[in-house]
Copies of this chain bind each other. A is one copy, B any other.
Amino acid sequence: VARSIDLNVDAGESAGPYLYGDDENLFPWVSSVNVACGFHAGDPAVMRRTVDLAARNRLAVGAHVSYPDRAGFGRRFLAATPEEIYEDCLYQVGALEGFLRAAGLRLSHLKPHGALYNHASADPETALAVARAARAWDPALPAMLLAGSPGLAAVAQSGTPVLAEGFADRAYSVDGSLLPRSQPGSLLTDPLAVAHRAVRMVVEGNVETVSGEAVSLQCDTMCLHGDTPGASTLARAVREALALAGIEVRRAWPAN
């Protein structure tokens, strides 16, 4: 059978005079992007530019929603209530909509960013608050969370579509969770090794953990990091390895 996988990248994280990431060189290698909505990064001008760039590359565009923490780039846990998370997500999803309409696109998915991603993946109550925002926006809008996580399971059970996300360039703990970024070796940077892991995730449906054993991992999408040195080289290596393995890179869910 024909195999396929979605490749996604976080995008639109520049702001005002500040450049961040390498959207121009990464977009050709992926099939979907997660656009910052101003709470951890991005601003209206960057959002417009990023959506337009995604449209030119025919990519699916999702909202990359965050805790309101520009100072910490959304990477710090914030003790927001589920109600606050719901409201903040809904605000950010909407903020992106205008730029999508102007570009003739529809919102593809919702992905929490940084600390909110980690917390929503680990904590069902938080995940459900995010999912509630997705549902209020559009019952068919999928929420992207960590493959195999309790948060993902809770959202799926609630009836909101989910997108299980794997990380070809991150190390996995024995229990299938991501090794925290603060730990040495948590980020893989060798293009060949990452490309190999990406193919294995799709073909075998598993990933090698830090202990050397394989743990099952069913992904709808794989994230490539755009803010690491050599990001576009890595993206290209993954893309080409997938092609060699006969795996098509395309959005894994219906255009909603």
Contacts A76-B79, A77-B79; A95 near B102 (Cβ below 8 A)? no
Residues of A at the B interface (CB closer than 8 Å) are 15-20, 38, 41, 43-45, 47-48, 68-73, 76-80, 83-84, 87-88, 90-99, 101-102, 115, 133, 136-138, 227
Beta-carbon nearest neighbor of A76 in chain B = B79
Contacts A38-B91, A71-B68, A79-B77; A133 near B20 (Cβ below 8 A)? no
Q: Which residues of B contact A16 (CB under 8 A)?
A: 70-73
Q: Is the beta-carbon distance between B17 and A101 smaller than 8 angstroms?
A: no
Of all A-B residue pairs in the complex, the 10 with the closest CB atoms, nearest first, are: A90-B98, A44-B87, A18-B18, A94-B98, A77-B79, A94-B97, A102-B136, A44-B91, A95-B95, A94-B94
Contacts A78-B79, A79-B76, A83-B45; A133 near B90 (Cβ below 8 A)? no
Q: Is the beta-carbon distance between A79 and B137 smaller than 8 angstroms?
A: no
Q: List 11 A-B contacts (CB under 8 A).
A: A15-B18, A17-B20, A18-B19, A44-B88, A44-B91, A47-B91, A72-B80, A92-B95, A94-B94, A94-B98, A97-B97
Q: Which residues of B contact A45 (CB under 8 A)?
A: 83-84, 87
Known: A76-B80, A77-B79, A90-B102. 7 other contacts (CB 8 A): A18-B20, A69-B69, A72-B80, A78-B78, A93-B98, A94-B99, A98-B137
Q: Which residues of B contact A78 (CB under 8 A)?
A: 69, 72, 76-79
Question: What is the bound-complex CA distance between A43 and B15, given in angstroms?
Answer: 15
Question: What is the bound-complex CA distance between A73 and B93, given in angstroms?
Answer: 24
Beta-carbon nearest neighbor of A99 in chain B = B90
Minimum CB–CB distance from A24 to chain B (whole Å) comes to 18
Question: What is the bound-complex CA distance between A99 and B136, given in angstroms?
Answer: 8
Q: Which residues of B contact A88 (CB under 8 A)?
A: 44
Q: Which residues of B contact A47 (CB under 8 A)?
A: 87, 91
Question: What is the bound-complex CA distance between A101 and B133, given in angstroms?
Answer: 10
Within 8 Å by CB of A115, from B15, B79, B90, B99, lies B79
Q: Which residues of B contact A48 (CB under 8 A)?
A: 87, 90
Q: Which residues of B contact A69 (CB under 8 A)?
A: 68-69, 78
Question: What is the bound-complex CA distance between A87 and B103, given in angstroms?
Answer: 13
Q: Which residues of B contact A17 (CB under 8 A)?
A: 20, 41, 73, 227
